[in-house]
Chains A and B, each alone.
Chain A
Amino acid sequence: MDNPSLRELQQPLLAGVGCGPPLQKPGEPQLGPPFRETAFAESLRGWQFLPPPVPSVSAGLGELGPPDLEHPQRQEQQHFPSLDDKPQFPGASAEFIDKLEFIQPNVISGIPVYRVMDRQGQIINPSEDPHLPQEKVLKFYKSMTLLNTMDRILYESQRQGRISFYMTNYGEEGTHVGSAAALDNTDLVFGQYREAGVLMYRDYPLELFMAQCYGNVSDPGKGRQMPVHYGCKDRHFVTISSPLATQIPQAVGAAYAAKRANANRVVICYFGEGAASEGDAHAGFNFAATLECPIIFFCRNNGYAISTPTSEQYRGDGIAARGPGYGIMSIRVDGNDVFAVYNATKEARRRAVAENQPFLIEAMTYRIGHHSTSDDSSAYRSVDEVNYWDKQDHPISRLRHYLQSRGWWDDEQEKAWRKQSRKKVMEAFEQAERKPKPNPNLLFSDVYQEMPTQLRKQQEALARHLQTYGEHYPLDHFEK
């Protein structure tokens, strides 16, 4: 059911309960005061103020005044419960039923997977082809492949002890690039940790990816965080934080602020199907819906949370099926189909901003790589399974077939680009290795706006300690 009419259905029969003020589209004349407090104040001027009925008081008796039929959306007025034989409960809007029936969760044929291309990169329904220009589609392709190349090199560098840790994005490049391309550059991104392709699409330089992984002097994060914890204020990419799902309620708050600022801006929040089990996910979804926030919840369902397969993560129809439970518009897409991801995100963005409501996109995909460099996934899944996805359903291959069938790419360009992208990555990598680490004083700064005395004393104590015992510390690698 389309949302506006559902909202009408949800108009409370008892006052003081239910939705906030009516939806406003930007640019349209104000329908009324935007905030409850002023609405209430407004009501005091012209109306006989009556306290809302206490829910536990039975029989709702008392003279509350005639219903205002001219202004059905005013929340302050008091309606006497109707004498029609319809449920009057404030908690739900529904009909009565006299047959005992449990709703069966539909897991066998759940929410369908939206796709535009088949596994060979051919458009299935031409009316769904976004008809993107060659230049844009090539940018998709180059972002995904450059990410893939960078992943290979940085994964290796961890194996060689050059960086302490790494997480690859193999198989999920389509989810990053398809969604990033559908957003405005100023839309705010909250990620989990496997969304480097979003930054790549926004032209975050290789030098800075590497700087963060190496924790060298060029790292905007000043060497404080472990690798892959990227952040970029200029590109509106909120810094990655290790604890899972904490970004979800934060993203909702940011979206609310964007709404208030009339910023014409959406917030996108990425998370995996595992993180969706966290309590914070529930909080985020519920807040976004009740507070009517312009946010896109983007779930990367890649089949595994470290070793935990989806069969042990949830028993319902994935994450998409949870959206309606919160009153959130939801869709499931083929995450390995960059055009499907693009189309869904584009439409979600348009409506989230126009209608100030959240959207949930569950992008089905597969985690081809290990969870991280600390993981060996052969301990819990077969190599055959991984190979299937790598060979038969990979976002990069599918897009390449699309490009080739349009005559926009060929084997020679592929060969040249592989060489070129590898060269770019290697150059950035070698430079990153050579740079020193930041000055150890940066251990103490940015914890507070103004460093408190206690902390300054600790900083000075370290400085004195290094003067005497400096030979036992790797000071040569750090900036003086």
Chain B
Amino acid sequence: MAAIAATAGRLLRLRAAGAEGQWCRLRGAGLQAASAAGDAAQRRHVAHFTFQPDPEPQEYGQTQKMNLFQAITSALDNSLAKDPTAVIFGEDVAFGGVFRCTVGLRDKYGKDRVFNTPLCEQGIVGFGIGIAVTGATAIAEIQFADYIFPAFDQVHVIREVASMAQEKLGVSCEVIDLRTILPWDVDTVCKSVIKTGRLLISHEAPLTGGFASEISSTVQEECFLNLEAPISRVCGYDTPFPHIFEPFYIPDKWKCYDALRKMINY
């Protein structure tokens, strides 16, 4: 169902962030401990955590700084340029989209390739499937409008926690950003657990039935004898996501740090 509202405050701050900040790379990687002096100037504080820009990667040739939304727009632009059958559709995509992911694309590629649909998610998905059945490329945007505030990248929280663990406990952590759910990168996680003996999993979604349960279950199957402590899950509570109580609901760095500390002392 399309939904309605948003925290414009955060949206505005993210727009500002777009100008200078850079979302971290999505590949899982070892922790890069930020050196305090050099990076202090580049840090931005948004909501509950601190952004640290990724170091510029060397292996891909020339790079360009973008925020997440700009990266999406760029990917869409590339897709439509390379694939003449590709079309983008959904609610409000024509004027640029409520999250600004399709800005400029309609002007560039035409109204038959970038277009609004009526307000109906089941229709959008079905329509997209139909396009794909013919062999053409369907790119459907499902809108949460201003109802879902921009998704926190939990990896930033975890990176901060890893940093805190190093500083306060002398503990070194591997930070893994799982990019996919089904299938997910079992090998990377298990290799890390075999090496370290411990695992902390965190996501905003509620604890019970959340994806951390899946990871935890698989890891204990594969690496049972390597574990030195129970696997820790720091997630949302089993309640609907609250408005005014958000600061207490979020699996923030303090909750993650506390869970880590307990796991080390197990």
Contacts and interface: CB of A to CB of B under 8 A. Distances in A.
Contact of A277 (B7, B9, B120, B146): B120
A443 B237 contact: yes
A263 interface: no
Nearest to A214: B244
A interface bracket (residues with beta carbon within 8 Å of B):
35 or more
A454 B91 CA distance: 39
Nearest to B4: A242
B244 A224 contact: yes
B211 to A, nearest CB: 17
B7 A164 contact: yes
Interface string B87-105: 0000110111010000000
Interface stretch (A102-110, A198-206, A359-367, A369-377): A369-377
B123 A372 contact: no
A165 B146 contact: yes
A246 B208 contact: no
A277 B118 contact: yes
A469 B249 CA distance: 14
A166 to B, nearest CB: 9
B119 A278 contact: yes
A372 B3 CA distance: 12
Interface in A386-444: 437-438, 440, 442-444
A313 B120 CA distance: 10
Interface stretch (A27-35, A171-179, A301-309, A322-330): A301-309
Contacts of A224: 240, 242-245
Contacts of A112: none
Given A243-B3, A279-B122, A458-B207, A307 B239 contact: no
A447 B240 CA distance: 8
Interface stretch (A59-67, A130-138, A144-152, A225-233): A225-233
Contact of A306 (B145, B237, B248, B249): B145
B169 interface: no
A474 B255 CA distance: 15
A379 interface: yes
B97 to A, nearest CB: 9
A380 B103 CA distance: 12
Contact of B245 (A167, A372, A440, A454): A440
Interface string B1-29: 11111111101000000000000000000
B179 to A, nearest CB: 28
B56 interface: no
A472 B98 CA distance: 32
Contact of B208 (A226, A379, A454, A462): A454
A161 to B, nearest CB: 6
A382 interface: no
Contacts of A459: 237
Contact of B119 (A167, A244, A373, A455): A244
Interface string B122-154: 110000000000000000000001110000000
Contacts of A244: 1-4, 119
Contact of A374 (B6, B120, B238): B6
Interface in A431-480: 437-438, 440, 442-444, 447, 454-455, 458-459, 462, 465-466, 468-469, 472-474
B116 interface: yes
Contacts of B115: 312
Given A279-B123, A443-B239, A469-B254, A372 B146 contact: yes
A310 B7 CA distance: 27
* Most chain A CB atoms below 10 A, which of B119, B207, B239: B119
A314 interface: yes
Per CB-CB distance, the 5 closest pairs between chain A and chain B, nearest first, are A243-B1, A215-B244, A223-B244, A374-B146, A277-B118
Given A243-B1, A373-B8, 15 more contacts: A164-B7, A193-B5, A225-B243, A242-B147, A277-B118, A279-B122, A307-B95, A307-B116, A308-B94, A308-B119, A379-B95, A438-B244, A454-B208, A458-B207, A473-B248
13 contacts: A164-B7, A224-B243, A243-B2, A274-B119, A277-B120, A280-B1, A373-B146, A374-B145, A440-B245, A443-B245, A468-B258, A469-B254, A469-B258
